[in-house]
Amino acid sequence: IDSPEKKLFQGRMQSILESSDKVSLSFIDPDKNPAITKQYGITTYGTVVLESGKKESKIRDPNEANLINGILKVTKDEQKVIRFLEGHGEKRIDDFENQGFSTVKGALEKDGFKVEKLLLLQSGEIPDDTELFIIPGPEKPILPEEQELIQEYLDKGGSVLLLLDPQSKAGIENFLKQWGIDTPDSFVIDPMSKLFGGDYAAPVVSQYVAHKITSDFTLPTIFPLLRTVTAIKSTSADTTEFLLTGANSWGETNLDVLKEGKSQFDEKSDIKGPVSVAVVSTREVSTEGTKEPEKNNKSDATANLKNIKKAHLIVIGDSDFAGNQYFNFSGNGDLFLNIASFLAEEENLISIRPKERKNSPLSLTSDQGMLILMLGLLTPSFVIFIGVRTWWRRRRL
């Protein structure tokens, strides 16, 4: 049955269909085709099923972000693994309370990642298949032997995301300085947050330094209880401060005054705003012990280049911004997922995931358009089945 919703969906799909002859689109009436309905487990009108080979993904809200991410999910050759550290009072991915990270886990899985937790001392290593290792708000010391295991993982070209809250007892400051990152003991104060109905100790960040993570990112993000994270001189790593608080904010270092609620900016001891609260550090590492290439030996030089990987370490001065309570506030969840996608080398997933797209056409970035084009060259055909009868009705069958 033709409807405005069906035509809108066809418009969204048109760019994809024109980019590859490997993509086909079919509309199925679930009432007239009960066998297909049962085969794909369709229980709601308007469900979109993406299928490629043996992989399958169902979408009940076919907006542009869900369609792109669904296509990525069914056309990936393998599922990348993201592991979360536990054992030091970190936020837990199986915790559904306000402070928990269950929403993070669900969002990462929706983007096609496999998500697991890891007790480092018990495992004795960060497994080689770990695409990204996340340390979400440690409260207790990360032991020296654990820090050595993290360094070994980075030395292999791994990626680490550390969410470090103010007054954390993680004891990882010296480790971070080796990567050109400093985390002075401070709280970021922002009087302007009051204008947003927030607290002066919960800064709203809207300044994003140009980086792949924040490309075209404009949504404000809120960080409850935030510490300063700055880049320092390093001869072995490239560092970039990519999140800044407002010009009227500052990093309060006198915590006694802060507890009394009498915090005022002190030019002699405090950190003047805009304050950096997130740093990305990148270091080239050799993944194989190879000799220096001889002069004029192009084959050796090429071989050595193939053995060079980039290790990434990102530190953000707060973990609560990605917790269940704040994940869906403005750009918080999008920012976290962009960071995870960058570190996991899934940069095509970096996008602002729209809250509502019911009346907007499919708009592809150049990267996403190129990805769709490559689907026609690198992946087998996949078929999209749509169970449709009444697009605007979302009742149960």
pLDDT in tens, 339-387: 999 999 987 777 544 444 333 333 334 443 443 333 333 334 444 444 4
pLDDT tens-place string over residues 258-275: 777 777 888 888 899 899
CATH (one of 3.60.20.10, 3.40.50.880, 3.40.50.2300, 3.40.190.10) for 81-289+297-345: 3.40.50.880
Please tell me the predicted confidence (pLDDT) of residue 68. 72
pLDDT tens-place string over residues 94-152: 999 999 999 999 999 988 899 999 999 999 999 999 999 999 999 999 999 999 999 99
pLDDT at 284 over 90: yes
**Using CA atoms, how far apart are residues 169 and 20, in angstroms rounded to an integer?**
53
Alpha helices in the chain (DSSP H): 4-19, 34-39, 64-75, 102-110, 120-123, 144-155, 173-177, 255-259, 298-306, 332-343, 366-378
Between 120 and 198, the more confident residue is 120
pTM for the model stands at 0.74
- Is omega for the bond preceding 144 within 30 degrees of 0, making it cis? no
**Greatest C-alpha distance within the chain:** 76
Please give the mean pLDDT across all residues of the chain: 82
Could you tell me the residue ranges of all domains in the chain?
4-76+359-387, 81-289+297-345
In this structure, of 193-207, 215-229, 291-305, the range with the lowest mean pLDDT score is 291-305
